[in-house]
Structure 1
Amino acid sequence: MSSTRSLSIGTYNVHMWTDENCQDNLERVQDIIKIHAPDVLCLQESTKPEHDQFSRKMEFMYPHSIWQFCTAIFSKFPLEKTLERFKDHYVIGKVMVPHLDTPIYITCLHLNHRSEQFRLAQIDHIHKTCETYLKDQNPLIWTGDFNALSRDEYTESHWAELSETRRKNAWESPHVDVTNKIKSLGFHDLWMKAGEPKPVGTCRFGTRIDYVYASPGWMNLFQLVSVDHVDSTASDHRMVMAKFTF
């Protein structure tokens, strides 16, 4: 566990507990988590029964506080389920970190992989939910697999190549409405704030679709130390690790 003056958060799409070649990856994922030792871990595509096996073997004191719709939050600190919604595939957990007077709120989400308009609707619902139940100054993280692109890290040629690849595979064209929307709400893209350390891509297609976003209330409470895209072939995604001091 981190010291009482630091905090680490990891997010990882475990691809229904297989790598990109559809080989079992449970033990490899466990090894990665043990090495990087996040205090709070958010998983996407965490299906049963492997989810239960992972929960039993890992050293999270609060491993089952949230499990729903293949999105999960594990915590080494007291964790309380706050909200969940099937249609929009997200859960929000309230975490009590030692020596902090206020709880922190972690949103683990997995946005739709087919439609930018659907993703926008999901983001709108999550934002309205947070406005209803949380105060503006609450420290809040949105993290997970957004299935969304940010235009800033792609050159013109790379963007054109990405557009052509998607056209040939009958996928939707690349959009940036979701990431622009999140930024317009005041959230900080922590990988960009950390200086855009390489590697850039977080999925097997070389694009960045896994994010850690922090609210202004979070940035007032925590100092960002680093954000890493953990290089591994255990899943078809890389784990994203964000570290903070306070």
Structure 2
Amino acid sequence: MSILAWIVTTSLLGGILSVLAAALFVLTARAQYLGGLVSFAIGALLAAVFLDILPEAIKLTTNVSAVSATVLLGILLFFTLEKVLIWRHCHHEHCEAHEPHEHGEHDHGRSGAMVIVGDTFHNFIDGIIIAASFMVDVHLGIVTSLAIIAHEIPQEVGDFAVLLHSGYTKKRAFQLNLISSFATLVGGVLGYVALQDMQSLVPTLLALAAASLIYIAVADLIPGLHKRTHIRDTVQQVLLIAAGIATVAMANYLIEG
């Protein structure tokens, strides 16, 4: 096969396989496990940012301050986008979107919309990384693609949990994650066509992806956990957050050898 054919095949199959693997876990879980999955999602999202996305952005840039500034501006950007989403569905002061929602209630789709934005950025960057590795060596490309699939699964589990928490049906959550996965193919093809130009944008795109996932975890998901104040609930939340972090850390360890 040609290099482009390898890139297209692995980008397409990689995105689909990671979503299917995550779906097998999440979509068969019972409803009462959703709160636990949200805690796991917080750990997985934050670990993906601080153990994978930001280190990669810093490694690829010559201006670390610019990466940090992009993360800061990205958080402000996603705060503004969330406000726009609220305003779109609510035009009066006492709208339910302005009221804190209790545990178990949905957040009107806001977290779900934000996680899809962040995941799409991440998938797009994955495609560029796949293209770059195949253009160096086919074997390196295959190994990199397999590593990305393995790394994406815990993050996709977290994304499914966030979408279900936001009120999406299981079918719709699967559809959105699948659509988002095609950003890997787009990134792979564009990376092949204009690799040098795209590489210069990678640190900025990574920083924006990091900002989105940080905002989701800290602003949208963590406040909901504080509504459960029993010591047993708190211990469970901490352990599940730690499990999310440990899963991503272990994936990184296995991938990097």
TM-score by length of 1: 0.28
Higher strand share: 1
Higher helix share: 2
1 or 2 for the larger relative contact order (CA 8 Å, sep ≥6)? 2
For the pair shown, the structure with the greater C-alpha radius of gyration is 2
